[in-house]
Structure 1
């Protein structure tokens, strides 16, 4: 599909482009020996998945990121097939990021990540003209964990906020949050209006395992906080409102992309002016549904 066939985006998503290698062992790993497994290659990257889910929910969306040059056409086509306008940069000698996800028997994941070309994202890849006509800029935390991309993304966030464009952020990785320091991340995302941590990320950012204390800490810094709590559902809070929604009971296959589907469903609902409680319910249902399929993006068809 040519770019002109896609509508002008209301949302720009910025973050990593990855190829996901999803591994489902048929039992515990055997150190030093073999274990049969189902292995598949999927287009991935949390931010790319979020953009694909936004398109799935009917929101015109563009995605900006960086890939290896040899993969540019393939990655652009994958985004277009998902209904996303691709705004990809590419460099010679760079490899597209790659992630290995090892899925346990319960559907939980462990990741091995090679960020590749994502670490080369620069201001030249994110001109401020990308913000023209937008209602919302969404940033994956992965784009903030290394200095070069961080400077470019923070500049884009600041200009977006100055223009009155809503800025939202997903922390993306508790491991990387701990590596860079939660106080640093809070400073880097001060232009955000909505924060979307999961339970572990909320605990890391707030420095406490107490859910109520997490809410108090985070709503003092962001207008709205949506905390994804896995099988326990999710909650939305501001300084004046705190709402919770239970997760539907589903047969979990793969939790990859569940948080991305939740985030996209919530933002899509808010862009459609749905009440916040209905937006939360829709988001929780979407996140649960995403766990019933392999991979992090909506199923085709």
Structure 2
């Protein structure tokens, strides 16, 4: 990661994959304290097999396992209160108690002056949870992450600009990626375009996640929305240029070379 102080909240089982997952996060400096599901849990630690095609696009074969069973009791309110931003994963709306867990996290974070971001995750996820997403966006969310397909699905239209404007009327900041067209950032009646960084696509896995991570890093470090959008596009471009969802270069050095940070 970019060096920000971060924490992750998510459920794994007390099994081999769960131990590897927790160790991997902690080895990267990420605070991970969510209680493991017990060895007797009916489900295993979640996993995903990613198949990458020659053109760089990917298909995901996912088993959610105990990931689905995030509960309000897994939310550490004191940890949420320390966060400048929390990032909610839309896929987690599929869990039976995830809505309540999100509400608890949002309340604790915002009560302490923090802000909430939400990613819509996938057009099919939007189809399943559109009403719940809209309710949360209007009441709790400060920053909405999505891509073009998710945006169109959310507002049930083929008019991309109209969907962007509708989202901007409901949330403080909209950051919508648009494939090789870069990203569109809207806030306070203004709109910025962050251009895509040309690269040969090897593996598209992680592009949206890296965009969001770099965008939030920019905001936390005092950069404006346009600069943060450019950082997001640079990060996404780097991660799709090779196999694997982690960057292979120091992004802060790339940002410096681009004149985005000193």
Q: Fold-level match, TM-score > 0.5?
A: yes
1:80 equivalent in structure 2: 26
Q: Quick one: distance in 2 between partners of 1:273 and 1:296?
A: 26
1:190-212 CA distances to partner (integer Å, 9 max, x unpaired)? 30100001111111112122221
Kept in 1, the 8 Å contact 2:25–2:31? The answer is yes
Moved over 6 A (4+): none
**1:186 paired to 2:134:** yes
Say whether the 8 Å CA contact 2:81–2:111 is kept in structure 1: no
CA distance in 2, matches of 1:188, 1:110: 29
**Whole-angstrom CA distance in 2 between matches of 1:293 and 1:231:** 17
Aligned to 1:58: 3
The answer (yes or no) to whether the contact 2:70–2:95 under 8 Å persists in 1 is: no
Higher helix share: 2
Q: Deviations over 1:207-244 (max 9, x none)?
A: 12222101111011110000011111111002411111
**Contact 1:100/1:111 (8 A) holds in 2:** yes
Q: Give the aligned length.
A: 245
Q: Does 1:207 align with 2:127?
A: no
Could you say which residue in structure 1 is the equivalent of 2:194? Answer: 245
Q: Identify the structure with bigger relative contact order (alpha carbons < 8 Å, sequence gap 6+).
A: 1
Q: 1:61: how far off?
A: 0.3
Structure 1 residue 147 displacement after superposition: 2.6
Check conservation: 1:245, 1:281, Cα contact below 8 A: yes
| Structure 1 CA distance for aligned equivalents of residues 82 and 248 of structure 2 | 29
1:138 corresponds in structure 2 to 87
Question: After the TM superposition, which of the residue ranges 287-296 and 86-95 deviates more from structure 2?
Answer: 86-95
Tell me which of 103, 111, 118 is aligned to 1:169.
118
Which of 224, 245, 269 lines up with 2:173 in the alignment?
A: 224
Of 209, 212, 225, the match for 1:260? 209
Contact 1:263–1:283 under 8 Å retained in 2: yes
Select between 236-245 and 130-139 the one with higher mean Cα deviation: 130-139
How far 1:300 moved relative to its partner?
A: 8.1
> Is the 2:86–2:109 contact (alpha carbons within 8 Å) kept by the matching residues of 1?
yes
- The CA distance in 2 between the partners of 1:99 and 1:188, in whole Å, is 28
Greater share of strand: 1
| Aligned alpha-carbon RMSD (Å) | 1.7
Q: Does structure 2 conserve the Cα–Cα contact (< 8 Å) formed by 1:76 and 1:88?
A: no
- CA positional deviation for 1:107: 0.9
**Counterpart secondary structure, 1:157:** helix
Helix, strand or coil: the match of 1:112? Answer: strand
SS where residue 89 of structure 1 aligns?
coil
1:141 and 1:172 in contact (8 A); partners too: yes
Could you say which residue in structure 2 is the equivalent of 1:69? Answer: 14
- So what's the TM-score if we normalise by structure 2? 0.88
Residues 78 and 108, structure 2, Cα contact 8 Å, conserved in 1 = no
**Structure 1 residues 300 and 68 mapped into 2: Cα distance closer, same or farther (>3 Å)?**
farther
Residue 272 (str. 1) matches residue 221 (str. 2): yes
Q: TM-score normalised to the size of structure 1?
A: 0.77
- Rounded Cα–Cα distance in structure 2 between residues aligned with 1:245 and 1:135: 24
Q: CA deviation at 1:88?
A: 2.6
